[in-house]
Each structure stands twice: as C-alpha cells, then as structure tokens.
Chain A
Amino acid sequence: MSLLTEAQTKTTAIIIAAIVIIAIIAGAAYYLSQKPAQTVTVTKTQTVTQTTSPTATTSPTKTVTPPKIKEIKIGLIEPLTGAHAVFGQEAKQAAELIIDIINNELGGIKNLGGAKLKLVVADAGETPEQAKLAAEKLVAEEHPPIILGAYISRMTAAVAEVTEREKIILVMDGLVDSLTEQGWKYVFRAAPKASAHGKSAVDFVLDMAKKKGLEIKKAAVIHEDSIFGTYVAQGAITELMKNGIKYMAEAYPYDISDATPIVSKLMDYNPDIVISVPYFHDGVLIAKTIKEMGFHPMFIAGAGACGYTDPESIKAAGEAVEWYTNTYSYNPARPTEWNKKVVEMFKERYGKLPTEAAGIIFYSLMVVKEALEKAAELHPEDPLNPDNLREAFLALDLTDDNSIAAQLYPTGHIKFAPNGDNIYAGTAVLQVINGEPHVVWPDPEPGIEPVFPRPDWPGAQG
C-alpha cells in the first residue's frame, strides 16, 4: 500500500515537474517569438526609408531636368535549388541572355538615355516561406523597382505579398488564375494563365475540326485535381459551354494507381473529343490505358503543359502518346525575326532548346523593357515611381510590328488588363508526331502539319 502511495506521489511529482518545465519552455518560446517580430518591424521601417530615398533625390530635380539614370536593377526570384530548380535555373539563364541583348544589342533603355539593366538574383528555394524571405532580402539589399518570379504559383503569391507592400512591380511567371484575382495593384502577367491553357486546347481542337469539316458535339474533360489542374479544366469547360458543346468532367488525384475506371467512364460517355489535364505520372498511365482499352475518339488534347508531349513522357509512354497534344506558354518555333534570333542565341550559349520556363522570361523581360521606355516617355520626371511604372505597363499595346516582346509571345499580342493579365493571352500547341514533339498551332513548325483527327478514329477512314 505504502509502495503504491509512494509511486503515486512520485508520478504526481513528475507531472508537476513536467508542467513547470513546459511552462518555462512556453514562456521562453513566447519571449523569443516576440523578439524577431520586433526586428522585422525594424527592417520594415528601414526598407521604407530606403524606398523613399530615391524619390527624395528625384524630387528636387523634378522641376528642372529629368534624373540621370544610368542603371536600373531588375530583380529575379526563382527556385534555383530544390525540387523545382530545373525551371528556376533555366529562367535565370534566359534572364541573363535577355539582359545582355537589351544592354548590348539594343543599347539599353533608349528613352532613359541608354540606361543599362542590372539583374539581381535571389533563390526562392522550394517553399513559400523561403520565397518570401528571399524577396524580403532582395528588396532590402537591392531595392529593385521591378521583380520577376517565381514560377511556382504558391511561391509567387508569397513574393507578391512583399512586393505589394513595398510597391514594387512584380512580373509573374506563375500561372494559377487566382494570382491576379487578389486585388493586387503592382502585379502583371504576360504569360497565359492556367485557364487560358484550357481555353487554348479547346480553341485548337475546334479550329482543326472546322478546317477538316468535322462536327464536335460531345466532349469529356479529365483533370488532376490540384488547383492548377482545376483552373486549366475550368478554362476548357467555359470554352466548351460557350461553343454549345455537351461535356462531362472528371477530377482525379494525380497519384491514381489505375486508370481503367476513368477510361471505362469515358468509353461509356463516348465523347468526340477528350481534353485531358494531367500531371506527369497520371499522363503515362492514362495514355497507356486508353490505348490498351481500345478507346478511339476523334481527338485527345492535353492542356496545362505537363505530361504527354515532353521528352520524358514520350520515353515513358512510347506509342501510347502518339498524336497527343499539349499547350505551352511559349512557342520556340514561332517564325518571327526576334524569336528565331533569341532561340538561336539561347541554343548557342546553353546548348539546348529553351522550354517554357525560359520562354516566359524571354517575353516577360522584354515587356519590362517596353514598360520602362513607356514610363520614361509618360513621366520623364520620375519614371521609376511604382505608380508611373504601373501606368506605363497598362499603356502598352504590343504587337509583332512594334515590339520584340510580342514577337516572342505565342499569340503575338500583349496588352494588360487592370488586374495585370494579358488580354490577348494564348498558348502554343505541341503534338507528338512519330514520337517527336512538334509545334503545330497556331504557328506550326516549317514542314509540319497537325495530325487531326486521330488516324485510329473510326471516322477517319472515310
């Protein structure tokens, strides 16, 4: 009995000790967590004074002559390490190339007396927290008036929180629709957003059907259920509805183990066309299952730039992805003078073809150049003021004839809406033909014809 009570008092003692220790730790943690918050506010005020200093120096000259700007810093925040490093590294290569072209071949920003651009780069890592920290650091140390980044949408959102607060223009290469739906004032996106990818896939199919005199009555949309995949699918569905086409839609997690139930559902619905928004893994599985189950619709079009037409997917799925298409934010085969030139220079310098990550930076950075020219024209007294820059971006109407930027863009037309998105956004369509990806729409590669309808569609024989 006494042993038991002794044990009881012992446990009570341990419990009390534990509570005391936890309380001490909690107190210390609270104290420590308060500390950094204070330092954050300190840096905040610092950066505020830093951002106001350029305007302070410019305000006296405002009345007389425009300021002499020799160099403009352009920030680039991309995932240079971690899971998304492939994209970030290529974006950085593209940015370095375009900056060289602007400074050396084009003589800098002409309206600012040939001011040069200087690229300042930060690593966004692989999480939104890392991206935000990188943005804070870049802004505090370099305070560039314009920043580009950060490819992965949730990381782009984290960077935008900083740039909005500091009134810095952010030209985004993240594609999720919601990035331009937050009411942010200083964000712009030339690249086609996720839903524009879905819309382009449908537009391509309808355009081809019209050319071949085929009628599309029923469509199926299948998509992986991430935010990105859902937005792409929404874009496709909206476009189908607009054209009065009946449709079914099916979302699935990208790590499904078997696609037979989904393909059976498709076969039962028997649509004329399938719009598929895969990630990479599910793309292989779905294409193989469709082939094996002997499902032969008029056409199967991918959307969203993941899977089907990239070299890795073609290697993994083989014949199963023949004639599949996918939409891309950049067209390396677009036959304009400057696009050919930039692709050649990129190939020469880095020994590879530019993919989407590089392409978005090509035209986004050229848009930045045009905006700086415009700002100098509209507000020579203070061209780098964020509100003046914003006004300049909104005043742009870039086409193949008046800009390099548009020549690098899939649709050849860039004009920003007040929310920051390009009104004329569109994608290029790539198709797997004889096991090789080729650009087939809207500007096909020389000597390449899109294959439409699928030759294995029963109606194609006639």
Chain B
Amino acid sequence: MMAIDPSLLLQNIVNGVFTGLLYSLVALGLALIFGVMDIINFAHGDFVMVGAYLTFVLATTFMIDPSLTAFITMPIFFVFGIVIYKLIIERVLGAEPLIQIAVTVGLLMVLRNLALMIFHAEPKGVPFTMFTQPITLGPITIASSRLVAGIVSLVALGLVHMLLTRTKWGIAMRATADDREVAELMGINVKRVYAVTFGLGTSLTALAAALIMTFSRADPYLGLLYGLLSWVIVAMGGLGGVIGVLASGLIIGIIEALGITIVGAGARELFIYLTFFFILWFRPRGLFGKR
C-alpha cells in the first residue's frame, strides 16, 4: 500500500457519499424523535431490522422490487410507531433517562429475539432487484442501487426539512421541541405532536430498510449495526436538525470508505469512532450544536 491510486480514492469518496446519504436517512428518524420528544430510543436500529424483514417478506411474497415495498411499509410503520408510542413511550415521557433507556432496551430485546425466533440467525435477502447495471463515469463505477438509495435519502431529508420549516405541523413540532409547556399554552396538542413525530420517525426507518434491502440482507443483529451508527450521527450532528444529520452522515460515510481504502476494512469502526471522538472533543455540542 505505498501509493493509492487517485481514481480509487475518488471512487471511494463517491462510495462514501452514497453510503453516507443512506446513513443520514437511517439516523433522521432518531434525530427527529430525540429532538422533539427528548426520548432516548435505543430500539431505533431494531426498527430498521424489523423494516428489513418486512421488506423481505413483502418483496418475496409479491415478487416486487424491495425498494417499491416502501410504499406499503412506510404507512404500516407510521401506525406501528404510533402504537409503540401509545403503549410504551407515552408512559415514560418525562421520566428519568435511565427508565427511558431501560424501556427502549427492553423493546429492542423483544424485537431482536422475536426476529431470531421467527427467522432464525441465517440472513434473509431478496434475490432480485431491478438495479443490476452499474453506472460507469470514466474511472468511477456506481452501483445503481446505491445511487437510488442516495438520491431517495436526499429527497426524504429534503422533504422532512421542508416539513419542519414550512408547514404548520413542523412549526408545532419545533415549538414543542423548544418548550413543551409554552407550546401547550399556545394551544398545541403536545401529545398528538409526540405521537405523530414518533410515527414519522418510525416510518422513516421503513424507507431506509427498503433501500438497504436492495443490496444487503436482513438478520436479527442488523439493529446493532444501524442503532449505534444512528446515535453517533445524531450526537455528531448536535441536534442541528436535518442539516446536522446530513452533514454528519456524509462525514461518517466518507471516513468509513476512505479508512477501508487506505488502511483496511478491519479498522472500519475505529475510524468512525475516532472521528466521533475528535469532533466531540473540539465541539462538545456537536457540529451544529448551539452553545
């Protein structure tokens, strides 16, 4: 590994950008829920896992492309999120962080073991996808599934950003995030805002899961991978809204790809967490955190 081919470097920056966009989408739901509701949801990654299995089941049953299942899984997950909120989360709102952690870790364990029980430990994948041809631009090769995943993620991030800044609902959400009591005094139905936020955050994991399934697989431990990654992205973004999530997702994606290229895939997590460590060292409130 004396000199690294510049085209390989460029190739991996491109790889990193597309992976990073998808990572941002995975973390977006968590950022939304944490930002608005102040709930520490450790089961977030396992929502992605459940979404991946649901995508697998729907795609293989109806023989449709995994990416298209998002049209079905997103509404299902919106309802699933609201049900989880009503049954579990609402009861621990405003409780001590430790209790919230215990509850969501419990939820994570239930989901993970349910997946183990139903699907066993072997990976499940959708054996077909419409994205098979790579796109070649000079020395750069882009897998079309990653291109689609990246673009869809970017659009979803944009839509959520618009929702938060341009619509009444978004303003209500942000107001609730800023000060729950004042928001309530202003006539905002906080409980309903919370339920919708949790539903929306959960349905975004279904979209991410559908995109992941175009090139990867579902297994019971998928939550471990994406859960931790989401927390890193949210903490690094410093609750800077959608822009913060996008920026830190991209940083993680590119650092990961370059780390694998320059040093080796074995040290992948080392680079992610070193970056995380350094950013929080210099900016303890994250990239976009307010002082």
B260 at the interface (CB under 8 A from A): yes
Q: For this complex, into which size category does the number of interface residues on chain A fall?
A: 35 or more
A250 at the interface (CB under 8 A from B): yes
Q: List B residues 212-239 near A (Cβ within 8 Å).
A: 215-217, 219, 221, 224-226, 229
> What 1/0 flags go to A240-284 for Cβ under 8 Å of B?
000000000011110111101110110110000000000011001
> What 1/0 flags go to B130-166 for Cβ under 8 Å of A?
0111101000010111100000000000000000000
Residues of B near A193 (CB, < 8 A) are none
A137 at the interface (CB under 8 A from B): no
A284 and B52 alpha carbons, distance in the complex (Å):
14
A316 and B269 alpha carbons, distance in the complex (Å):
26
Cβ A289 vs Cβ B8 within 8 A: no
A150 and B127 alpha carbons, distance in the complex (Å):
34
Residues of B near A312 (CB, < 8 A) are 122-123
Q: Please indicate which of the listed interface residues B11, B123, B215, B229 has the most CB atoms of chain A within 10 Å of its own CB.
A: B123
Question: Out of B7, B123, B257, B268, which one reaches A260, CB within 8 Å?
Answer: B257
Cβ B217 vs Cβ A284 within 8 A: yes
Contacts A280-B123, A281-B217 given; does A253 touch B5 at CB 8 Å = no
Question: Out of A261, A284, A285, which one reaches B15, CB within 8 Å?
Answer: A261
Residues of B near A255 (CB, < 8 A) are 221, 224-225
Quick one: closest A residue to B217, CB to CB? A284
A443 at the interface (CB under 8 A from B): no
Cβ A288 vs Cβ B260 within 8 A: no
A387 at the interface (CB under 8 A from B): no
Cβ A316 vs Cβ B123 within 8 A: yes
> What 1/0 flags go to A318-356 for Cβ under 8 Å of B?
111000000000000000000000000000000000000
Cβ B123 vs Cβ A292 within 8 A: no
Count how many chain B residues have C-beta atoms less than 8 Å from C-beta atoms of the other chain.
Answer: 45
A260 and B149 alpha carbons, distance in the complex (Å):
13
A23 at the interface (CB under 8 A from B): no
Cβ A284 vs Cβ B146 within 8 A: no
A35 and B215 alpha carbons, distance in the complex (Å):
56
A260 and B140 alpha carbons, distance in the complex (Å):
12
Cβ B127 vs Cβ A257 within 8 A: no
Cβ B217 vs Cβ A293 within 8 A: no
A455 at the interface (CB under 8 A from B): no
Residues of A near B5 (CB, < 8 A) are 268
Residues of A near B8 (CB, < 8 A) are 264-265, 268
A291 at the interface (CB under 8 A from B): yes
Contacts A251-B265, A257-B226, A319-B127 given; does A289 touch B219 at CB 8 Å = no
Cβ A225 vs Cβ B121 within 8 A: no
Cβ A292 vs Cβ B217 within 8 A: no
A442 and B16 alpha carbons, distance in the complex (Å):
42
- 10 closest A-B pairs by beta carbon, nearest first, are A318-B127, A316-B125, A252-B265, A261-B260, A292-B143, A294-B134, A260-B15, A312-B122, A268-B8, A284-B217
| 7 additional contacts (CB under 8 A) given A251-B266, A264-B11, A315-B125 | A252-B264, A260-B19, A264-B261, A292-B132, A292-B145, A316-B122, A316-B127
Can you name 19 A-B residue pairings with CB atoms under 8 Å?
A: A83-B121, A252-B266, A255-B225, A258-B19, A258-B216, A260-B19, A261-B257, A264-B11, A281-B217, A284-B125, A285-B217, A288-B125, A292-B131, A313-B123, A316-B122, A316-B124, A318-B125, A318-B126, A319-B127
